[in-house]
Amino acid sequence: MILIKQAEVYTPHIIGIKDVLVCGGQIEAIEDRISLPLPSCHVIDGTGKLLIPGIIDPHVHVTGGGGEGSFHTQVPPVSLSDLIRGGVTTVVGLLGTDGITRSVENLLARVKALKEEGISTYACTGSYGFPSVTLTGDVKRDLVFIDEILGVKLALSDHRAPNVTVNELMRLGSDTRTAGMLSGKCGIVVLHMGDAPSGLAPVREALARTAIPVKIFHPTHVNRKRELLEEAFAFARQGGFIDLTCGIDGAGRPAACIMEARERGIPMEQITISSDGMGSWSTYDESGSLLAIGYAPVDTVLKEVKVLVQEYQLPLEEALCFATSNTARSLELFPKKGCIRAGSDADLLLLEEDLSIHTVIAGGRRMLEDHVLLQKGTYEI
């Protein structure tokens, strides 16, 4: 058991100074005062600190991305300690460009390893390509029979995309929707959005020609360029979720895009932030030749929340939603994830007043406390 005493609690909405009791991996109680004279209960003094839900990152290349500049440019797998230092307690792993030397098998192996090491980890089958790479040979079967898989990945409007037809997109959306219903999952199609002029047009046509719910398609990297961001704002007005990527600023960094969306009346609850962690970034010349390549860190989502609060003066309870409750709802994991309430998973961050991390609790387990990392991956030095 863990008892956090007298922290200012954001659920993500502020509820004041509270004691929070964690037991068996869940939040057991939230009260003004909790007294437990049990020697086995670990007490953390939260006085002068802020208690928030753990960060949910819906887009991390847990096996490592890259490889677009040949084999030596492949990015290494994500480490547990890097996720913990970034305040990430729930992560969705997926593949990227490379669905050939990377596979759903090694994706799931890394997902299961991270779960064993202490954080909640899910996955999307597929990669950029089509037909989708899978474990069972079928997207629907992957979703229904593999607990960790929530949806499928596909690239759209990108020079590396498989250029699916609208009919193929409709079929994939329908299959994913049905499999999600059968398995009690969100059943989403995560769309890596490139900068081709087609943008979200194939998605609009697929929705217009079918009864597929708008919530099934999740476009990400939508802040890549202004035209795409405008399409994404319209998509959010339709009730779709849109994901802003840290480290991309073609149309503005996520914080700037959120403030613009807020001013324009875009539904704030439809917006999420992700890191694209361990995924490669790359730049190309006009002929399509690679100019530069690197990869994204996994600690950027909480940093973007801090930018919203400290630079744009957005109230913390509003800024947190883009990395907690909105993301949990988009993945249909709320209220198990993304909030602080009795019965929810004990994924918690205790922050200093400057929003730096004091303590990370994942699944009721202390991963970092008093700024000291307590848990590392099995082979981390």
Q: Write phi, then psi, for 292 (nearest 5 degrees).
A: -155, 155
Hey, what amino acid is at 126?
G
SS3 350: strand
Tokens of 41: 């209960």
d(CA 58, CA 327): 7
Q: How many CB atoms lie within 10 A of CB 110?
A: 19
276 as an active site residue: the answer is: yes
Dump the DSSP string for 59-104.
EE-TT--B-BTBGGGBPPPPPHHHHHHTTEEEEEE---S-SSSS-H
Spatial separation of the C-alpha atoms in residues 303 and 220, rounded to whole Å: 19
CA distances from 57 to 244, 274, 315 (A): 11, 5, 21
Q: Which of these is catalytic: 57, 276, 299, 345?
A: 276
Helix, strand or coil for residue 228? helix
* Residues annotated catalytic, as ranges: 276
